[in-house]
Each structure stands twice: as C-alpha cells, then as structure tokens.
Amino acid sequence: MPDPVVLGFDTSAAHCAAALLRGGAVLAHRHEDMGKGQAERLFPLFGDLLAEADLTWGDLDVIGVGVGPGNFTGIRIAVAAARGLALSLGIPAVGVTAPEAAALDLPRPCRVALPLRAGQVVWQDFGTGAGDRPQQAAAGSLPPGPAPAAPAVPPAIAIARIALARRAAPGPRPAPLYLRPADAAPARDAAPLILP
C-alpha cells in the first residue's frame, strides 16, 4: 500500500503556507508572506503544489489545517477551506494549533512563543507536565519557564506531519482556536427589514 498523501496548510498569520507530503517525504512546499489576500491565493497555491507533485485532488488522503490562535480572518479562511475539502473529497481533516506546529521536533521541555499583533505573543509550554494550553501575553511578560525556542519545521510541513500522525483518529472537525474576542463590534444600527 502506498504511503498516504497529506495536504497541510496555514493562513493564521501574515502568510499563506502549504505543503504536500507523501508519508514523511515533502513533495512540494510554499510559504508566501502576505498581510492580506490569503483567501484569493489559497486554492491557486494548492493547484501549484498538486501540479508540482504530479498529483490530483483525488490522490489526497488527509487534510491538515492550522486552527490558530492568530489572525481571526486568516484562521476562518483556512478552517473553512479544510472543512470544505474534507467533505468534498471524503477524507479526514485534522486541526493543528500554531504552538503544536511550532513545537514539532523541538526537545522537551520547551516553550514556543509566536508573535501576534500589538506586541502580544501566543505561547505554550510542552513537556513540562503541567498540561499547558496556548495562552496570550505581552511579549515581555511571560511567566517563568523554559526559554522560548524557534520552530524547527516550517508551519505547513509541521501541520501536515501532525495531521498524518493523527489521521487514524482525527477527532472533531477542525474549528478556530481563539484566545480573545474579536476586534470587530456588532453593528449599532438595526438590521434592515427583510420582506417575504
């Protein structure tokens, strides 16, 4: 039986990143820095990767997607794309948090701290036995713990590798992971009257 093919991708930060793996081998990988435009770029990027690897949509066995924390709109773009692809292709989709991806292949115990906007970071400790989860803090105010380590694996490749490892038991459908409420406020005006 051939090794499974996984598409991993992430738009939770100021980038559009995707990778195709067959088993542990990277077939194609792209990481494009961009502040906006991920929704328009994501599927053409997938098409480029599939063409480079000489594969089709039907060759995919699992989808891995970055679920955040990070940019609200970017997270929603990626999660919606993953859920739609998984449904249309009849394959599992696996959500992977940004800290999980950043911690892949780092020696334990370790801490990852990923930049957010406005001088904030999302951070998480791994291998400390404390059952830590992602948290948000000001960049200079992290509690005592391991020194933050730089990611060892590009995000899309890490997401794909983690998704491949979890494909037998993918868990619930991917869902955005938010650590704070949205910056946008609900409209103050009454909604328009909708006629029958």
pLDDT per residue as tens digits for the range 69-102: 999 999 999 999 999 999 999 999 999 999 999 9
Q: pTM of the predicted model, to two decimals?
A: 0.90
Q: Residues 142-166, buried b or exposed e (16+ Cβ, 10 A)?
A: beeebebbebebbbbbbbbbbbbeb
What mean pLDDT, rounded, does the chain reach? 91
Q: Is residue 43 part of a domain?
A: yes
Where do runs of H (alpha helix) occur along the chain? 38-52, 72-89, 98-103, 155-166
* Non-local CB neighbours of 44 within 8 Å, separated by 6+ positions: none
Q: Is residue 98 part of a domain?
A: yes
Looking at residue 60, which CATH number applies to its domain?
A: 3.30.420.40
Q: Is residue 121 part of a domain?
A: no
Q: Is residue 63 part of a domain?
A: yes
Q: Is residue 179 part of a domain?
A: no
Q: Among 9, 15, 3, which Cα is nearest to 64's?
A: 9
Q: How many domains does one find in the chain?
A: 1
Q: Is residue 134 part of a domain?
A: no
Q: Is residue 24 part of a domain?
A: yes
How far apart are the C-alpha atoms of 5 and 63, rounded to whole Å? 9
Q: Which domain holds residue 160?
A: 5-106+151-166
Given pLDDT bands bounded at 50, 70 and 90, which one contains residue 26?
very high
Q: Is residue 44 part of a domain?
A: yes
* pLDDT exceeds 80 at position 61: yes
Q: At which residue do the structure tokens 């780092």 appear?
A: 106
